[in-house]
Structures are given as C-alpha cells and as structure tokens.
Structure 1
C-alpha cells in the first residue's frame, strides 16, 4: 500500500497585508513550524483524517461544500477542490500533526491545506504543479470553508526557501525569492502571539474585500493594483470607508516594493519604519486591529524595537517586531508587562526565520 509523509510550513508576512486579493503584492516567508501529514492510499472512495488534539473526521471523496465543518473542512475542501479540477481520488488515510500555532495569524489552516494537497497529489501520482495547487487551495478556502482569502498564504507555504522572503505577485501568480537574513545584521524578527484569536471567515474580513472590489469597479479598473495616481483615485471616491480601504491597499503595495529594495540592498534595519507605517495603516485605514495588537506595537516600539506591525487577517492574532538581538528580551518583557497591566492573556514569543517550503519528507 502506497504511503508517505509530507509537510508544509506556516508563514509570516513581512509586509503587504490585505493586498493579494486586489491583484497586489506581498512579502511573506515560510516558517520553520510545519504541519506534517502521514498519508496512506486507500481504494474505497473514503478519506479519514486524525489530528492531534482535534479528533477524527471521515467523509467520501465526493464531499460537497457544507457537509464538513470545523477544522475538517480545510481537509475536505482540498479533496473537493482537487475533484473539481478533474483529479480522480481513490481515498486516503491522513494523520496530521501541526506545530503551527492555531489562530495566531501564522496561516495554520493554509499550512494544513498545502500539506494535505501535496500528500493527495503524491499518493495518487497526479500531474499538478504548485501554481495549480495555489488555486486549488484558494478554491478550498473560498468555496468550501467560506473564508474569502487570497493566494499569499499558500504561495508562501508552497514556494518558501531558507533565508529568503518571497515576493508574491497575486496578479501573475509569481513567487520571486528575495534575500532575507536578519541575523547577519544583528537583528531578530520576533513574533508576538497575542493569543487573541482571529477568525478569517467572519463578515468583517469579507466586507473589506467587497469594498475594495467595488472601489476598483467605481474607478474603472480590474483591481486596485492598477491605481497609478492615488490622490486622483481618492478624490473620485465618494464613500469615506472606500477611501480609507483604497489608501491602505495602494500604499501597502508601495511599501512591499520599498521593502524588497531594502532587503536586496542589505539595508535590513531600514525595514522598521515600513513595518510601523503598515500597522498604522491597518489600524486607521483598514481598521482590522484590536487592543492586544495595538498595545503590543506600542510597547515594543517604546522598548526599542525598530518597527512593529500586526500580521494576518487582523481582529486578533500576532505582531512582528524587528529588534536588535541584544534588545530582544527587554522588548519581550515590555510587551508581557503591558499585557499584565491590562489584564490580557499572557503573550507567547517566537523568533521568525525564513525556512524551506512544502515538501515530501519521506
């Protein structure tokens, strides 16, 4: 019986938040934390999934949206999307273990989906490239799970490289590696998991995507990637909410290009102001932060961080802070103290380092 083990990483996004569904740019990288799937082929048209800490789910390969909910929907969605693409699946037993923190804005769901997709493709000898898997995972999220996400998360997971960030172009589905070495500059990129759990499938996230789509239509363009004159575009919009959303997306795309230039030039320290500007935009124009995220950024900056911002969909999750290696502990202590004083849950800290992408392990 054919078996194998596949894994896919979570991701952190240096900059470029909420831009990929507008045909825009983002600069994520793959994390060392991974979701591992041990898989075995079966021939009865059934999928079984056992996940550490989450129980078991079983369903037919002919599953339809709405039949499986909860964490199992991410697996069933991949099975459904593969079938819709024309792939003939005979069935599989899947055993899942994940080291990617759940609900922390580090893309645990896409890590799971990418690992499952690779496992099913490998077990069934399917001729599908990673560019096709990007869309399959997006269809699974959008149409089965019901989360209106873009393509950045799965592209980071599928195309990640050690010591490289990935310049994601959502319009052209390209993934260009960019040198990314914090340690050689004496820096750490710290992830602060605020333990304020976010939900991608809620109405707020979808509302922002719809507003951006409607604004692009009002401006007569396919998506906001095409805005060349921001002041002119904003002057043509009558809805103040749309003005704020468009301003964030267009400026965030520009920040991605600025960050790529800095990384390529070895000017890693100069990323700090871009991170902080991104957070201010996500807070004020895109309006997706919560008190835990804002307090983290404020405390980190006050303790000496070069820059900090929320990552992920927002409404909870994590913050990244660019810090001197020698100053990492004081920054972490300042954030923890700020959380204690406000009665927030105790935060968790991780150092983010670019790692390799999804792969077959054995």
Structure 2
C-alpha cells in the first residue's frame, strides 16, 4: 500500500523549475512557426530576456535606483522584412490563431483611432516609437513570428522582452547601428532603443511603466546585476555570482495574473507625482538624496504631506532607494555574501516586501503566502518582485535547500486552495541580440 498515513491529504507534486531554452531550441521553434505561417525562411532570429528585479520596486518612475538582472528565459522573434509595404503580419505561439495584420501608417497611441489592441501593440509600438523618436524613417513592413519561454503574466517583463527582441531585429535589418556588435554592445545606442521601447509600452500599449524592464533586457550583462539610475539612465554592472556563494535566487510564479493596465499602477504613479509637487521637488529621488545627505530626515518630510496615502507611498520609495544602495554595498563587499553580510542581504529583501505590502499596497494574498512559506522553509530573504497585484516573488536560498523551499511553497498553496505555483531559477544572463541558433 502506498501513500501517506490514512486520512491524510495527498501532498502536491512539486514541479521542476521551468527551464530556459538555449538559442538553438528557441530559434528552431520560432523558425518553424514562421515557416508554417508565412512560408520560407526569416531574415534572422533575435531574442531578448525577461527580467527579475532583486530590489528597487516602483522606484523607476520616481527617478530612483533599481537592481534587476536579465533572466536566461527569453522571447524569440523570427523576422523578415517586407520591402515595398508598410504592413506588419504577426503570429505568436502564445496566442494561437491566424496571423494578425497591422498597417504601420495607421498606428497611433492608445485611445486614438490608431489604437492597436492586444499583444500586437508591443510590436507595432516599437516601430512607431523608433520613427517618432527620429531613430528611423520609412521602415518597411515585417513578417514576425514570436515564441517565448518567459512566463506571461508573472511580472517578469514578458512584454519588454517582446519589445526589445523586435527593437534589436529592426535595428539590425534597417541598419540603425544602435545595438552595436554582439559581445560588445554600444550601451549609448542601446539606451536609445530602450527609451523607444518604453515609449511604445507607455503610449501605444497603454501601460504606464518606468524604464527598468527595457533597460534590463537591452543593457544587462551576464554574471552581473544592473544598477540603473532611473533619473539619468546611467548604469553600473554589479558582479553577481550567487553560485560561487552557494546560493540560488528562486523565482516563485504565484499564477495570480499580473496586470498593469487596470489603473492600479497608474494610480500609484499619480500619487507619487502629486507628492513630489507638494514637496516642491522634481521627483521622489530628490527627497531620498536630501535624506541621504543629512539635509533632512524622513520624519521631517512626511508631516509636510497632509494626505496619508502620499505619506505611505513616499516612505516606501525613499526607503526602497536606500535598500538598493545597501544591497549594492553588500554585493561589493570583498568578503562576499556570507555571514553577517548574507543576513543583512536577506533582511533587505524582507524589508522590501513589507514596505511594498504595507506602504505601497501592491502585494496580494498569493504573494504574501509565497513569501511567508519560503521564509518558514529556510529562505534567507524573500519579497514580491515586479509591479505587483499578482505575479512573482523571489527567495534567496542556500543551494541545497531549493527543493525544500519549493515543496513548502507548493504545500502552502495547496492548503489554501490555490493553483499550483511555478518556479524558475534566476541567473544573471545577457542582453537582447541576434540568436546564435
């Protein structure tokens, strides 16, 4: 007789972490989709990574600091130019059905007669933005096939991965010269591509995000976290070798769908901008800088805001920027992540989650449960990651304890009657570019 004690509930099966495709696999899949849909061969295959943010949430549109890494999980696009036409033909393995067609000359911002609905907005929007920014003119139509192993709706920037894969494809096919050669990316040019992708997402797709996701997809380096200054777009590459420290960064996809276009994200951005206006500063980064320099304190700043919602949002942004600085300092310590430094790093992640849950109010029951279960199972620190309202959490885990943490989270979700979570291992990977497969 097999199974647990009589009367006990069966334990949920723990899925293996979702693997990332190598370039050969991703390219083969998307080439096959292209051939089935459009016939023939594409001009090439390009890809861009999803991202996970280690710390620095909702700081990007406040001129702050954040610390994402590019995931090994990528979106692949097979693309062929269509000279003499201004029409896009688009197909995605994630959205089965006939190819969609979009007239590039009719594309416009969301809410206008040129609005493009659905996922096609993230493709058409990139070409629209490149032309609107003066980076390209008279781009031809394209045939585009898309396939991806970046989990959609998980808060891991599947939309930015699509935008940035399309951006490097157009850069290559149109000879824009912004992405630079493979292995030696022109970061200035990539910053301009990232800005165009942000504009595509904000104006054509209608998601009021900051620029962290696109910067990570286009400007990250393998083996490094990307310290992004969202005020001036400057980056610093911070070495991140968790394997050498005997650690893993586990991503927990709660399967609670992450959406940014339902008004909640936009509301928080509006509140932060209103608070900055009341405080007489250009953005909340200025408040963090004044506090960091000793010119003022948070206790002196917050009473200047009559609105309690503004006070809580400001407290999160200011303390989150400081948490980014703290973690970067710990990663740069010559001793590495061990002993007291490791405990402090875990505490930074824990404090970030509590601030996002209580002051910024962007967590969810599923995210809180994932974080609590991971901590109880031995995670050294855990937090929600991404915009929130669903999506994913991360847990810093000793390499040998990953299976135990996954089992504990899966059991907690089962006991709560929730859908099984999914998992993936996050390693700092490389940026968008032409696929080698």
TM-score using structure 2 length:
0.81
Pick aligned residue for 1:257 from 303, 322, 325: 325
Instruction: Determine the structure 1 residue equivalent to 2:62.
Output: 22
Q: Are 2:79 and 1:31 aligned?
A: no
> 1:167, CA displacement in angstroms?
0.1
Equivalent position SS for 1:40: strand
Task: Select 1:349's aligned residue among 420, 423, 428.
Answer: 423
Q: Counterpart of 1:64?
A: 108
Aligned to 2:240, which of 180, 192, 198? Answer: 180
Distance in 2, matches of 1:121 and 1:2, equals 15
C-alpha distance in structure 2 between counterparts of 1:297 and 1:4, whole Å: 41
Query: In 2, distance between residues paired with 1:162 and 1:53?
Result: 27
CA contact (8 A) 1:288 1:315 kept: yes
Q: Mind listing any 5+ residue stretches in structure 2 that lack a counterpart? A: 1-40, 179-188, 291-296
Residue 116, structure 1, aligned to residue 166, structure 2: yes
Answering whether residue 337 of structure 2 is matched by residue 267 of structure 1, we say yes
Match 1:125 to one of 164, 167, 175: 175
1:296-322 per-position Cα deviation (integer Å, ceiling 9, x unaligned): 111111111100000111000000000
Query: Aligned-pair distance for 1:132?
Result: 0.9
Contact 2:94 2:148 survives alignment (8 Å)? no
How far has the Cα of 1:2 moved from its partner? 8.2
Please state whether the residue corresponding to 1:195 is helix, strand or coil: coil
Looking at structure 1, the residues matched to 66 and 100 of structure 2 have their Cα atoms a distance apart, in angstroms, of 34
**Alpha-carbon shift at residue 53 of structure 1 (Å):** 2.8
Where does residue 299 of structure 1 map in the other structure?
A: 373
- Whole-Å separation in 2 of the counterparts to 1:199 and 1:323: 27
1:84 aligns with 2:125: no
Please report the RMSD computed on the Cα atoms of aligned residues, expressed in angstroms: 1.3
Partner of residue 151 from structure 1, selected from 211, 221, 229: 211
Match of 2:31 in 1: none
Asked if the contact 2:191/2:219 (under 8 Å) is kept, the reply is no
Between the aligned partners of 2:172 and 2:260, the Cα distance in structure 1 is 29
Contact 1:189-1:320 within 8 A present in 2 as well: yes
What is the distance in 1 between the residues matched to 2:242 and 2:176? Answer: 38
Aligned equivalent of 1:47: 88
Gap regions ≥5 residues in structure 1: none
Aligned to 2:394: 320
TM superposition outliers: structure 1 runs of 4+ over 2 Å: 267-270
| CA shift for structure 1 position 290 | 0.6
Residues 2 and 123 in structure 1, CA contact (< 8 A), matched pair in contact too: no
Higher alpha-carbon Rg: 2
* Alignment deviations for residues 91-119 of structure 1 (CA, whole Å, 9 cap, x no partner): 11111111100000100000000001111
Please say which of residues 326-335 and 164-173 is displaced more in the overlay: 326-335
Q: Distance in 2 between matches of 1:90 and 1:345?
A: 44
Between Structure 1 and Structure 2, how many residues are aligned?
A: 362
Q: 2: CA distance between counterparts of 1:298 and 1:254?
A: 23
Structure-1 residue corresponding to 2:231:
171
